[in-house]
Amino acid sequence: MPHVRTSPTRGARIESTMGRVVAGCALIAALTGPLGAQQSTLTGRLHHVWDAEATSDNPDGVAAYVVDDAGRGTRIVPAAPSDRSQQYSFDRRRVEVQTEVIRQGPTNSPSVRVRSLRVIGVVPSPIASLHGTTGLDFITVLCRFADDPTPLLSPSQMERVVGPTYPGMRQYFGELSSSPDVMAGNQVTTVWFDLPQPRSYYVQGTQTAIGTLATDCTTAADAEVYFPAFAGINLQFSSGLATRATAPYDVLSFGGSWTLTLDQQTRDWGMTWMSVEHAENYVVYAHEMGHALGWPHSSGRYGNEYDSAWDVMSRGYLRYELPWGWLTVHTIGAYKDAMGWIPANRRWTPAAGSVTSNTLVRGALAPAQGHLLAIIPSGPNRFYTAETRMVAGHDGTLPGPAVVLHEVDYGRAYVTDSDRNGDPNDAGAMWTPGETFTDSIAGLSVRVDAETQDGFAVTITRGWRLDVNVTGEGTVRSAVAGDIDCDAGTCSHLFPTRGTGVQLTAEPLPGWSLAEWTGACAGRSDCTLTMGDTRTVRAEFRRQLLASAVLERLLGQSLHFAADQLAFIDGLGNGNGEFDVGDVRAWLLDPDAAALQGSLAAFAAPLDPRRIS
């Protein structure tokens, strides 16, 4: 193999290079904790490790750590659950965290609550350096607990799991990326290495000493492996790691990243921690290696991390094939695009204030021409994606051929499901010809026009459409987006941005007089321009959504609250179909919602996304 050289000590050492890019950002301070807690300051890289045990304050099942250059990690807990999604966007950045200790973990690994967190300096971002590269090679390191017998699995068995033969990880990720070079250099250590401690030192019930395992396993293998050659490290252990605290009480594996100093290089590696129960499990290997590449879970908005059949980063177990067992599907277009696997000329981002049509072709074994992904901005740190999913390659088991939409919030993707019935895989999440998705708050719509051999023809509208009925000749001028000129009949105008509300003014034609103009209308009603000869112009305005009305509703003092207003606020919050205090808190903190307070908030189209047949 091209990256192998003989070592005078033992095994093979592998080397290559990996690019780096510069990134930096800052984070908003979190809430303070209880008085009297032990306070400290941490400095290091922020890492997320997925598939940790989900709890009430961590519904996503992801643990965040601040890791120093020696690989010592301290788990951090956000002061409020709402801080968590923002925190994802700072993954693998150097941070300074003001904390207070709340408990100790296994092998003296404490957990602390965040009082404030900020990104410091201008530092390389290893995950950014993965974008657009072709290698992404992983080394699989075999490590045995000190009290374990000789493992039953041989290195050659593990080579089948990560190698180029279907459905090995090189073949699988090569298909996802449409590149035969991705993970072409995947390798497995030639022997099992002995850890210095027994399993009980690293694993205590539902807790795993993630950082200690990372340092001890890589140190044991350092004589054989030249780690800087690889983008990622699979740590395969000879026994199980933590067990789930709730039913079905199964053994867990983990995926994410970690900072280590290896072969005199301090760097962040994509990393997995694999239980022996998952050693030959192609679904779990693909899922955890996805986390190592920086992919979060995706799901419906129903509180279930593993409910979407559209993504390996969700349900995963979707088809059983002998002799390999359970296999999975592709990841979603948003995560492929984050890796640079979708070329710029095959990515469709409609301009604001436009109505455009294109064909979205399937992403699995994609044809040579056609757009693979549409990206539609919907607000700060939020956007929608539209992609075609059809049965092909590893996408052999899907709910059906359809355009599938996701809303991506701080990098985490959620299936857009029109019926909101708890199932993100049924007809409500499959957009087919004749159906239109509309988000009136974001001012966008996605219409599926027709099915083609390899995809679907789609029309995307970005902006707020205002339909004006003119009973005679006249001109309506918009203060925010130019003129609407039309003769008798109905004409439309698309406003590219929401602003603080559409305000209309009227000007009479030469020789006519302006008799009356009503330009501010409460509720959903007609606004009438009366000319000297009784000709009129009518237009519907956005409904007002005042802060006082929201709070009155919460206190039970207002029963006259429109269904679309309730759906809008619920969508900002927990999306459980109810109006509660969590929704109000999210609404008050949301910058988009704040911009709408005291202004007009909706057109005639519904505020919550739903199917229009």
As a whole number of angstroms, the distance between CA 225 and CA 230 comes to 10
Cβ atoms within 10 Å of 6's Cβ, excluding its own: 7
Query: Which residues have C-beta within 8 Å of that of residue 36, sequence separation ≥ 6?
Result: none
As a whole number of angstroms, the distance between CA 376 and CA 442 comes to 10
As a whole number of angstroms, the distance between CA 458 and CA 556 comes to 43
Q: How far is CA 249 from CA 242, 402, 461, in A?
A: 10, 36, 47
Q: What is the pLDDT of residue 403?
A: 98
Q: Amino acid identity of 95?
A: V
Half-sphere exposure of 220 (CA within 13 A, CB side): 23
Half-sphere exposure of 189 (CA within 13 A, CB side): 26
Cβ atoms within 10 Å of 183's Cβ, excluding its own: 26
Q: What is the pLDDT of residue 322?
A: 95
Output the CA angle 440-345-457, nearest 5 degrees: 50
Q: Which helix (H) or strand (E) holds 540?
A: strand 536-540
Q: What is the pLDDT of residue 516?
A: 38
Tell me if the bond preceding 380 is cis, omega within 30° of 0.
Answer: no
How much is the pTM? 0.76
Could you say which DSSP state residue 107 is in?
A: G
Could you list the mean pLDDT of each consecutive 10-residue stretch along the chain, which spans 613 residues?
Answer: 30 30 28 46 92 66 90 85 71 88 60 85 54 75 93 92 98 96 95 96 91 97 95 96 84 95 92 96 97 94 92 95 96 95 96 91 96 93 95 95 95 93 96 92 90 96 63 44 50 52 42 38 34 34 44 59 58 71 70 37 27 25
Tokens representing residue 2 in the block: 């091209």
Could you say which DSSP state residue 515 is in?
A: E
Cβ atoms within 10 Å of 421's Cβ, excluding its own: 14
Q: How far is CA 118 from CA 19, 109, 382, 546, 567, in A?
A: 25, 22, 21, 33, 34
Q: Amino acid identity of 302?
A: Y
Exposure pattern of 301-321 as b/e (b: 16+ CB <10 Å)?
Answer: bbebbbbbbbbbbbbbbbeee
Query: Which residues have C-beta within 8 Å of that of residue 318, sequence separation ≥ 6?
Result: 309, 326, 327, 328, 329, 397
